[in-house]
Amino acid sequence: MIKKKKFEVEDTEFTFTFSKSRSNLNIAFNRISFIFFIFFIISLIFSIHLLHLGSRKTESIKNGQSDIFTKKLYRADIVDRNENYIVKTVSSINIGINPVQVIDKKKLLINLKYIFPDKNFQEIEKKLNKDKFFWFEKKISQEKYERIMNLGDKSIIPSESLTRLYPQRNLFSHIIGQIDDDNNGISGLEKSLDAKLKKIDKPITLTVDSDIQYLIRKELIKFNEIFKTIGSAAILINVNDGEIISLVSLPDFDPNKREKITDVNFINRATKGVYEFGSVFKTFTLAAAFDEKIIEPETEFNNLPKSLKCAQFNISEYDVKIPSNLTAEQILIRSGNIGSVRIGQKVGEEKFKSFLSKIDVLEKTNLEIDEVGEPIKFNWGKCPLATASFGHGITTTLLQLAKAYSIIVNGGYNVNPRLIKTYQKFKKERILNEEVSKKMLPILRKIVTTKEGTASLANVKGYEVGGKTGTAQKSISGVYTKKKINSFVSVFPVTNPKFVLAVMLDEPKTSIDYIYNYRDGSNIKYKGTPYNTAGWTTVEVTGQILEKIGPILATKYGEVK
């Protein structure tokens, strides 16, 4: 009995141990099943959420908002010649509301007021009641985006959008232009390159230099205040390849604001404005005579009258002190009107017209932006030839002046101004006799260096500046007024021309306080503007600009002295 009892105990212990092991396995299995169930539920919820988003997308497409979800947004960046950003593209989020999908308008408005306390919710409520999709907030911050999406209201529709940033602000506004709220270009390069900007995947490089642009703009702003102009402009161009290093027009604007500009005073005066520039055309008259080999710099013009009549018009000298006997080069140096008429008459109507066409000042020229002006049609004849010879009655743009002077001083080779950098080699085409540059450059230099010249204030030491001034009465509605366009086209260095800088001031006035410092080594100072002419206004601006940009040009683009 004792052995039997012992056996039963051992058997009991064995049975007990076995039962316990079975129980542990069941518990582990149940835990695994529970965890699997939880993951299953989470996956199911996520899948349902995706389906819900898909349904929202479908609904938005039905409501005409398909572009919110399907449109790929892209626009290439724009950099200057030194790879400094002029335009940069970044992504942002816009929030729209579809009133049709709003469940509780009152609750939605309360929640939105809490997140956006500064918005005009009277207008928002009106829009909600119209049952038409509208944009509630554009370029929303990350924090507010998360808060508004946490509301879980299916009427709230986020959309990724493209934002164009202009880190240089006003600096290149007339070149770059603007885009609208749909990211389509509406002016400047943003418009003319619209399709390309949406297609290419690398930045577009321009020919302009941000440092030079900044310095020229700064000087123009300063002198706009000194001479109380309504605007001004400047173009710096490489005479050998047509690259525009700087193009400034004032007043300008900040493209970041995307404001609609209707004030005509914001016209691009460098490329779009069409003006009579006056005596800068006398350079063309003399160059045409050299090109036709009609006269030489030393050719004498004797017994020049102080005035002459052409039909009902009276043409006279601007300065009665100009001698009656002058050589061809002295006529340009002294900016003689009557002498220029005589040279023009020697060239003749057809040949002078042909010359002006070759250097591209009569018809609309080409540039990568659309804002390019078209010169007013000029009706040729005996008297128009006379007036055009000294720059009266004939119009063009500052851009075309810069181009024409480049051709005259670069050996007679055609150049096409451009804003977009290219590394293609162009075949140079000579369109003027090479002797034209050789004869013209010393004369343009004397206009700056001699006491008879009209541009001595631009004689910046070390840069061999040459050029020609122009002072013209402004024609408004066909009537000449006392308002003026003062211009100066400079070339430097004259011994090896590299750059043309064309500067114009629109309606300058004299200053009683400005101090002029002569650059002839005499240390003479003169207070107050004695005459409202280019020689005392635009030439001084040009001299100040050259002092600032000369060292940079020498460093970046080779010796300019």
Percent over 70 (pLDDT), the chain: 86
Fold of 78-205: Penicillin-binding protein 2a (Domain 2) (3.90.1310)
Of the listed ranges 100-104, 450-454, 539-543, the least confidently predicted one is: 100-104
Percent over 90 (pLDDT), the chain: 62
State the average pLDDT over residues 520-536: 87
Is the pLDDT score of 234 beyond 60? yes
Contact by Cβ (8 Å): 526, 485: no
Of the listed ranges 145-149, 170-174, 423-427, 460-464, the least confidently predicted one is: 423-427
Torsion angle of C-alpha atoms 218, 221, 225, 231, degrees rounded to 10: 160
Q: Give the pLDDT confidence score for residue 51 in this predicted structure.
A: 53
Residue ranges of domains in the chain: 2-62, 78-205, 211-557
Burial 285-307 (b: 16+ CB within 10 A, else e): bbbbbbbbeebebeeebeebeee
User: Cα(first)–Cα(last) distance of the chain, in Å?
Assistant: 129
Residue for token pair 């043409």: 315
Is the pLDDT score of 403 beyond 70? yes
Is the pLDDT score of 202 beyond 60? yes
Q: What are phi and psi of 415, to 5 degrees?
A: -135, 150
Q: Give the pLDDT confidence score for residue 512 in this predicted structure.
A: 95
3-class SS letters over 429-447:
CECCCCHHHHHHHHHHHHH
Burial 68-90 (b: 16+ CB within 10 A, else e): bbeeeeebbbbbbbeeeebbebe
d(CA 491, CA 237): 10
Q: What is the pLDDT of residues 299-349, one digit of tens each?
A: 999 999 988 988 877 888 888 788 999 999 999 999 999 999 999 999 999
Whether omega for the bond prior to residue 493 falls within 30 degrees of 0, making it cis, is yes
Mean of all residue pLDDT scores within the chain: 87
Residue type, 234: A
State the average pLDDT over residues 462-491: 93
d(CA 218, CA 227): 14
State the average pLDDT over residues 416-420: 97
| Torsion sign across C-alpha atoms 361, 364, 365, 368 | positive
This model's pTM is above 0.85: no
Is the pLDDT score of 20 beyond 90? no
Closest by Cα among 4, 451, 29, 420 to 203 = 420
Q: What is the pLDDT of residues 44-95, one digit of tens each?
A: 665 565 555 444 444 443 444 434 333 456 789 999 999 999 999 887 888 9
pLDDT band at 456 (very low <50, low <70, confident <90, very high): very high
Contact by Cβ (8 Å): 375, 397: yes
| Torsion sign across C-alpha atoms 540, 543, 549, 553 | positive
Cβ-based neighbour number of residue 535 at 10 Å: 22
pLDDT band at 259 (very low <50, low <70, confident <90, very high): confident
d(CA 149, CA 157): 9
Of the listed ranges 45-54, 179-188, 190-199, 391-400, the least confidently predicted one is: 45-54
Q: Is 467 exposed, middle or buried (0-12, 13-18, 19+ CB in 10 A)?
A: buried
Contact by Cβ (8 Å): 432, 358: yes
Phi-psi region of 521 (alpha: psi -120 to 50; beta: other; left: phi over 0): left
Pick the CATH number of 211-557 from 3.40.50.2300, 3.65.10.10, 3.40.710.10, 3.40.50.1820: 3.40.710.10
Q: Give the pLDDT confidence score for residue 61 in this predicted structure.
A: 36
